[in-house]
Each structure stands twice: as C-alpha cells, then as structure tokens.
Chains A and B, each alone.
Chain A
Amino acid sequence: EAEVAQSPRYKITEKSQAVAFWCDPISGHATLYWYRQILGQGPELLVQFQDESVVDDSQLPKDRFSAERLKGVDSTLKIQPAELGDSAMYLCASSHDRVQLTQYFGPGTRLTVL
C-alpha cells in the first residue's frame, strides 16, 4: 500500500538554528499539505500545495517558515530561525486532488527546539 514518506522522524535543534523537513507524497497525488500538531491538539494546516503552486499559506508564519514543492512531487518545509515554541509534530499529508479531500498522512517529524 502506498504511503507518504517523511524524514527525518525526529529532529532536535537549538533555538536560532535552521531545520528542514522533507515529504514525499503518494504517487499521483496532486495536493500536498503540511500540518503542525501540538500535543493534545488537532493538526493545524500550515501550507497547502496544488501541484507546485501554493493554494493556502494563510497560517504559515512567513517570517521564519518557508515551503516549496518545486517539481510538484516532493516538498520541503524549512524553519529559520527555530524558536522554542516551534517544538511540535510536523505532519505531511497528501490527497488525490483538492476535491477528493481524503488525506493520507505520513509518520511525521517530531521537532524539539532546545
């Protein structure tokens, strides 16, 4: 069964450092999502891509976060500089398209900022 791949699974960094997360969606899925999940809360959408284009980044803290999906396949989410409050699980998900909203999540990257 096809799965969404993410790496790394765990990342520990010091505040003010840069971190990057990678996601490879299910093959053929046009829509890719990055979520942040704080312990005890539901996933919060950071950015949504349709192919290589950003369709929603309204909740992305653009002063420090950036995301790209250059070839419309895999994606990278970057944080620079990291802050203590960025400690969370970063989940990537994909769906077939914007209409078929059923989302398939990857295992996530657990970020700890010290």
Chain B
Amino acid sequence: GQQVMQIPQYQHVQEGEDFTTYCNSSTTLSNIQWYKQRPGGHPVFLIQLVKSGEVKKQKRLTFQFGEAKKNSSLHITATQTTDVGTYFCAGSNDYKLSFGAGTTVTVRA
C-alpha cells in the first residue's frame, strides 16, 4: 500500500534560523497536503499541492511538490517560537489520505 515517509523525525532549531522537512511517497500522488499539530492539539490543515513542481508560500512557510509528484518539502525561514509543533504531510491517492509520521519541531530562543 501507499507509504509516506517524513524526515527528519525531530528538528531542533535556533530561533531565527531556517530549516526544511521532507516527505517522500512510495507511489505517485494525486496531491499532497500539509498539516500542523501543536503540542496537545489536533492536526490543522495548512495547504494542498496538486500540480507537478508546484510551489506555494504562506508567509515564512514555503511548500513544494516534486516534479514526479512523489515528494514534497516544507521550508520555514526565520523560525519563531510559534512554529513549534509537529508537521505532517499527507499523500492522496484514490481518494485516500496517508499521513507521514511527522517532523516534530522545537525552537530554542
């Protein structure tokens, strides 16, 4: 079945620095979604990417969908303490969404 892998599992970032988290699928995806889960909270939808090579930005967050539609990345610039949480990618195929294990981000001030 479809598997979605995320790396790294943990990301410890100095406030103000940039980082990237990666998502890889074993199969070609129809689209990919990203969610953020704050500590003690529930996943909240961030964005959906549909087209090959698509790039979308939300303030300091840049999302990219690979040309082969099998991988994606999330890049955060100038990390802030509000960026703390776990970021999940979720790949879609045949109307099914498969979540990765997430990248848990902590920020040191």
Contact = CB atoms under 8 A, between A and B. Distances in A.
Contacts of B88: 42-43
Interface residues of A, number: 20
Contact of B99 (A44, A98, A106, A108): A44
A21 to B, nearest CB: 14
Given A42-B88, A91-B43, A107-B42, A102 B33 contact: yes
Given A40-B101, A42-B88, A42-B100, A99 B95 contact: yes
A101 to B, nearest CB: 5
B44 interface: yes
Interface residues on B, range: 20 to 34
Contacts of B98: 45
Interface string B37-70: 0000111110010000000000000000000000
B71 interface: no
B102 A42 contact: yes
Contacts of B6: 42
A1 to B, nearest CB: 12
B22 to A, nearest CB: 15
A45 B97 contact: yes
Given A48-B96, A93-B43, 15 more contacts: A41-B102, A42-B88, A42-B99, A42-B100, A42-B102, A43-B99, A98-B95, A102-B45, A103-B33, A103-B45, A105-B43, A105-B44, A106-B42, A107-B42, A108-B42
Interface of A: 40-45, 48, 56, 91, 93, 98-99, 101-108
